[in-house]
Amino acid sequence: MNNWTLSRLTGPSDERPEPFSQHSHPDDVSASHHDMLTTVIGSKEDSLASIIHNYKHGFSCFALYIAYLGEKKHDDPTLVTGSHHDMLSSIIGSKEEAKASITYSYKHGFSGFAAMLTEDQAEDLAELPEVISITPNQKHELMTTRSWDFLGLKNEPPSELLQRSNYGEDIIIGIIDTGIWPESKSFHDHGYDAIPSRWKGVCQLGEAWGPSNCSRKIIGARYYAAGLDKANFKKNYMSARDNNGHGTHTASTAAGVVVEGVNLHGLGAGVARGGAPRARLAVYKVGWEEGGAGGSYLATAAVLAALDDAIHDGVDILSLSLGVDENSFGALHAVQNGITVIYAGGNRGPRPQVLYNTAPWVITVAASKIDRSFPTAITLGNKQTLVGQSLYYKLKNNTESRFESLVNGGNCSREALNGTSINGKVVLCIELTFGPIGRIFEDVFAGVIQGGASGLIFAFYTTDVLLSTEDCKGIACVFVDNEIGYQVATYIGSERLPTVKIEPASSITGNQVPAPKVAIFSSRGPSIKYPTVLKPDIAAPGVNILAAKEDAYVFNSGTSMAAPHVAGVVALLKALHPHWSHAALKSAIVTTASTKDEYDTPILAEALPRKVADPFDYGGGNINPIGAADPGLIYDIDPKDYNKFFACQIKKYEICNITTLPAYHLNLPSISIPDLRHPINVRRAVTNVGEVDAVYQSSIESPLGVKMTIEPPVLVFNASKKVHAFKICITPLWKVQGGYTFGSLTWYNEHHTARIPIAVRITIQDFYADRFPAFLLFCVWLLMIRGIYGSRKLYIAYLGEKKYDDPTLVTASHHDMLTSVLGSKEEALASIAYSYKHGFSGFAAMLTEEQADNLAVISVTPNKQHELLTTRSWDFLGLNYQPPNKLLQRSKYGEDVIIGMIDTGIWPESRSFSDHGYGPIPSRWKGVCQLGQAWGPTNCSRKIIGARYYAAGIEKADFKKNYMSARDMIGHGTHTASIAAGAVVDGVSVHGLATGVARGGAPRARLAVYKVIWNTGNSLQLASAGVLAALDDAIHDGVDILSLSIHADEDSFGALHAVQKGITIVYAGGNDGPRPQVIFNTAPWVITAAASKIDRSFPTTITLGNKQTLVGQSLYYKLNNESKSGFQPLVNGGDCSKGALNGTTINGSIVLCIEITYGPILNFVNTVFENVFSGGASGLIFGLYTTDMLLRTEDCQGIPCVLVDIDIGSQVATYIGSQSMPVAKIEPAHSITGKEVLAPKVAIFSSRGPSTRYPTVLKPDIAAPGVNILAAKEDGYAFNSGTSMAAPHVAGVIALLKALHPDWSHAALKSAIVTSASTKDEYGMPILAEALPRKVADPFDYGGGNINPNGAADPGLIYNIDPMDYNKFFACKIKKHEICNITTLPAYHLNLPSISIPELRHPIKVRRAVTNVGEVDAVYQSAIQSPLGVKIDVEPPTLVFNAAKKVNTFKVSMRPLWKVQGEYTFGSLTWYNEHHTVRIPIAVRITIRDFYADVA
């Protein structure tokens, strides 16, 4: 692009045009463009002849230019047209020729045109002051096989690798799939030589497959129909012919020949080709259509037969895009016969531990997205233009797009659409839950289209299933995110007759689309079958891949599309390096893979929510064919070495178990350590395949919590030294039961970089076994003997492996050992508390310190008592009660601060609300004690100083289901009130798990209760009117703080009034996580709380009949009349759906359920519980992707219900499959607290930002404990989880701060907790967020971080706001939806303790002011962490405060470094000195103005 063009595009922000507007008379506007060009070119007659001649003969000196003139200067289009004519006449001279030059007129939202001009004419036009920009036209072609160009394998001009490898010529790729369509142009054999002589395969004839269907391209074909029901013969070709299309698609992706002129629905035209277009194909059909609704039949036996035949036939590479995971040993034989085997990793992402085909000898492939986008313009009736994604195309007989009626269908379930007229209308559907993507879209699409709708706008958390919209068959189906969905919903709610127009999709390719990214559906590691092998190995393009199907070309997505991309690359490498082994080829693609995108930023993984990719998402990274051709070093493996580590056998489940050595000692190009308990040494060897004389340096990126060293750190290669061995020492730095963390080891020199990924999980030796068995009996026993043994303590002796199989002999050896120390066998017997004799050898005994020192064993450690701290959350936050924390003392425990609870009421008799020792009610209180059913004058007190209830709108039929008073029938309000301000209660116990002290955060605060939620039988009813009335009353009554743990998002203006009256308002953010854009209650004047986990765990021991001990999580407890735990029958119930359990006897048995899909947790749990326990099961082991809903197991009422991850669930399933009569025993749960439990973490259910309602306000604000919180319910105490529990934690902290700083405003209090929040855990590592899969938390997970009360008490600086300033940015009004719209200024100019820029298009400046509330004389320095792709500067960089200067203003300048339609990235701004650190989070999304409009 010329400098003159750039200068016009990148001028100062104040010179930029306003956003586009709509024209009411588009046809008239085009006249202005004709007139403009006439002035440039000349007479009409001359111009027409000239234009026609130029079009026919190539416009050798002309090019198409786009002129943008900004907003119309006139309402009358004819006047606009006249101004264009005059403008161009001054340069060209002829209006007629100007009209002929125009190819398009932009006549809807702005003034501009596209015209054929010379470069000189375009430059002259650009100099005119009225012209904002002149840009050359860019052709945005639908690159039908764009993926290969994206990977650097360009066909024109041909890449060096394609040339050097002869396009993969004569490499034989075997495709084990659904067959092939041989007539496709992608498989013609024109120009091919004779079939390679090494080929020994056959061309198996069959239905619609004759000898001519094999060729010099498709050199072999077989099919495997054994087991297929005869009834399904008619649904299939009984031959290698592809009835499904899947195999044709994958084969053409890997090795399709070059086909020009491919077109799909007019989106674009281009060249279709495979990665190795000169490779040969051998087809093995194993997939068949069966039954209805697209059912398929695929037998392991057939796959094994195909593998066996392929070994015989002489293929070089096998590509298997199959959802089958039981042919590891067949693949092993293939690899040991020199075949490279590539498998798709599965489409069950983004949840972890669901990866398929993970044997260490195969290449397992994840799916990634390429740099292509399909923007689709949506124009609302108010002329607002939004953009979604679709494959929408116009049918041939359709006219141009037009406005149609638009309706809001909610989530478009049958219930939501019932009574809504959608025939002939475009329907908006917003899906706020999450789950398997295709299934949700199919349900919505069916309901909407069956109702006669003319179009669909579907707000969802991903567009990775864009190809689903192709089934819309010319009906407009567009995916948008929730932010755009909310804008459409707001428009519908504000209009009487809303309309919309949807344009057909266009295509964008190139670096304007950030890529690659891991696809959301791509299955994630770790491998549950081989946890010591890091999987997947590599990621490759697998989203919206266009390839052959029958005689045409279609899109498809999946790891099925990624696997043949890898096969194509391996074919090129095999042709280039024919002597490389399978392991060498695998090493080359893994060690050279890309971990950064085209902007050199870390590759992202689409997930819930989006995250930075790690090795469990993409293995080594995204495939890099050019780098893999010359990797420098390779990690080679003799194929027979696999037998040293694995032995394969077939039982009910096929098992390739580890034999003697952990597989991380295998010479793989990766390392996975699933249980790092002590330092280990891992050995590797690398072979030099680069320059003969070479020196490589090592670079280590250690996983968090781990120290790694390399010996030797430098490798020297020469002609006589081609292979080097080295040792990696991996040492845990913490003692914790942790999650996986990631690192890498890189060997590099000036020519090459060979990097391997590393995954490590730190565990604690016998972490559970040492502390769990018979814990309660131990507690009683300890009390009995404490007086006898005096100074003795309980010590745990660990002796390692058992020396005997007979447990009695092991126990006897313990007695003998203790006898030698204590002097008598009797004393030894009396001192032993436990003898560990099943899984290992050891014991626990009461000993003096000297006696413990005299024991000659591997280790002796003092026992630790782990008490269930019932309100552990406050101690975890640093607000210890005994001895009392300094903040508690200084704030007098929140004395006389009034907290209003807008919730389900309260249970006044709970001990948590005792008013013992309280003084008179504060004189400023003006509230009432509203009497009602079961609520008299005595139910108010000096603790509960006011009570009101709001029953308007409650049906009379529901009166009997509720107390018509402030009394809490549900328990929710009692729970939240006791968290915030419950008095100190000793001796609280839950099911005997342990005892402790229950208390609120501000135990001396007063409570005012406002009951707004009611039980209607099937649900809870909450009316906005009731909430608004409560807010209004609270303002009158004189509360200081309001805590609202409610799911209502329509009272922003009521809350605004409360804040402007001096009340601090805290809202729960909602429990719709981990999907993004679902956070509720996001007005900038409230505090929005996310939920986090504390350092407490409830491990539950599961012992299998083979003495294997596993650990899950539960709240399982023994009923009083139950005996000790015993072994019970164990059965595998699959996913425990009614269909899976049909025919399975589960009565009296423990049932294993493994849920390998994902979605709202309670949906799974409730369904599984109902199905299992209605069948009479005696217990449940539930493999799920999270244990954050642990409290749901409390409802099992003493029946063991244990949540485990998929890894442990798989181990139980493997045990069941290997036994004729499997049994299991489940012990009651116990509790662990402290640093052995990594915390805090953001809870999986916690709703995530960004805010769809206020995108210029960063939400949530803060995270606080909200998982398994124990607090009051009626006269007892119960666990509960949710952001409902997090909000009163924040309210309790605010009460302490309010008591300590009574003059601080709401904004000051909010600033204090946000700027002092913790972003790291107790080990100094970044806080994690439970998600799908787990990720490092960012501001959309937790705002400023996890709440830090002690830091908030002395924040140093605060970002203050005059409450009336909110009116400058927002105006609230009520229509069908309550709207607080931005008025004139973007809200990021509000003095919030955070910054959110949702559309950074050009440099902007944001101002902030801070008030010093710390030392009078203070100097603060700035520290900037810029979001990726953004340059941030602060002016001034230093702030100086003194007695006369308490407030300082500063300016934050932000500049985008890229031109890209990007995603949010995160950073921070910190002011610090020796006493204080004041940090605010920053979220920025770079966008491109008219990114879509230019090509729509």
Among 527, 1284, 1305, 1316, which one carries the catalytic annotation?
1284
User: Which phi-psi region, left, alpha or beta, contains residue 963 (left: φ > 0; alpha: ψ -120 to 50)?
Assistant: beta
**Which backbone phi and psi does 642 adopt, to 5 degrees?**
-60, -30
Distance between CA atoms of residues 1441 and 1471, nearest Å: 13
Beta strand 1404-1412 with 1357-1358 is antiparallel
Helix or strand holding residue 847 (H, E): strand 841-847
Distance between CA atoms of residues 1149 and 551, nearest Å: 54
Strand partners, 1379: 1373
Computed over its alpha carbons, how large is the radius of gyration of the chain? 35
Among 560, 587, 672, 813, which one carries the catalytic annotation?
560
Compute how many other C-beta atoms are within 10 angstroms of the C-beta atom of residue 749.
17
Distance between CA atoms of residues 328 and 336, nearest Å: 12
**Which backbone phi and psi does 1200 adopt, to 5 degrees?**
-65, 120
**746 and 753 Cβ atoms separated by less than 8 Å:** yes
**1178 annotated active-site:** no
- Classify residue 1443 by burial, with Cβ atoms within 10 Å: 0-12, 13-18, 19+: exposed
Closest CA to 770 of 1109, 520, 1057: 1109
Residue entry with tokens 């039982």: 651
Decide: helix, strand or coil at residue 431: coil
**23 and 77 Cβ atoms separated by less than 8 Å:** yes
Closest CA to 903 of 1063, 980, 1011: 1011
**74 annotated active-site:** no
Helices (H), ranges, 1175-1256: 1206-1218
**177 annotated active-site:** yes
Closest CA to 32 of 70, 71, 87: 87
Q: Positive or negative CA dihedral for 496, 501, 502, 506?
A: negative
Amino acid in the structure at residue 938: T
**Total number of residues shown for the chain:** 1496
Beta strand 552-556 with 375-380 is unpaired
Strand partners, 459: 430, 480
Strand partners, 1074: none
The tokens describing 495, both together, are 């209009």
User: Which residue spans within 853-994 are E strands per DSSP?
Assistant: 859-862, 898-903, 944-949, 985-989
Among 85, 108, 140, 246, which one carries the catalytic annotation?
246
**1032 annotated active-site:** no
**643 and 688 Cβ atoms separated by less than 8 Å:** no
**1090 and 1339 Cβ atoms separated by less than 8 Å:** no
Distance between CA atoms of residues 1061 and 1035, nearest Å: 7
Distance between CA atoms of residues 1329 and 1266, nearest Å: 13
Among 636, 903, 1072, 1338, which one carries the catalytic annotation?
903
Among 972, 975, 1230, 1476, which one carries the catalytic annotation?
972
Q: CA distances (Å), 1296 to each of 1211, 1266, 1413, in order?
A: 48, 19, 17
Among 124, 170, 177, 1051, which one carries the catalytic annotation?
177
**193 annotated active-site:** no
Helices (H), ranges, 392-505: 414-417, 437-450, 482-494
Compute how many other C-beta atoms are within 10 angstroms of the C-beta atom of residue 155.
15
Decide: helix, strand or coil at residue 1406: strand
DSSP codes, 1287-1349 = HHHHHHHHHHHHHH-TT--HHHHHHHHHHT-B-B-TTSSBPEE--BS-EE--HHHHTT-B--H
**831 annotated active-site:** no
Active site (catalytic) residues: 177, 246, 560, 903, 972, 1284
